[in-house]
Amino acid sequence: EKAFRKEAMGGGDIKMMAMVGAFLGWQGVLLTLFLGAFLGAVVFGPISMKTGKLVPFGIFLAVGAVATWLVGDALVDWYMEWAFGPR
């Protein structure tokens, strides 16, 4: 919200995250939010800064949810090993 001076998450995004929570649990919601924000910032951030165009956040949340569903456990395991060392 502070970056674009507009509402960042709309009602549709909240409903989508409720559905993600029903399928992937609260841990999946957290990872999906992180991945969606990361993808949005990396993929579309530079384009948006140059052109001023905005893309709905739901697109990135959907990609983040699919990534969480497919490789979420492996991604969390990799991060934990990277951040805290081998168990």
**Domain that residue 58 falls in:** 27-84
Which tens digit of pLDDT belongs to each residue from 28-73? 999 999 999 999 999 888 888 888 888 888 999 999 999 999 999 9
Residue 40 belongs to a domain = yes
Residue 49 belongs to a domain = yes
User: For position 84, what pLDDT does the model report?
Assistant: 92
Residue 37 belongs to a domain = yes
Residue 4 belongs to a domain = no
Residue 44 belongs to a domain = yes
**Number of structural domains found in the chain:** 1
Q: 57-84 vs 11-39: helix axis angle to the nearest 10?
A: 50
User: CA 79 to CA 87: how far, in whole Å?
Assistant: 12
Residue 62 belongs to a domain = yes
Residue 18 belongs to a domain = no
Residue 66 belongs to a domain = yes
Look up the pTM and report it: 0.80
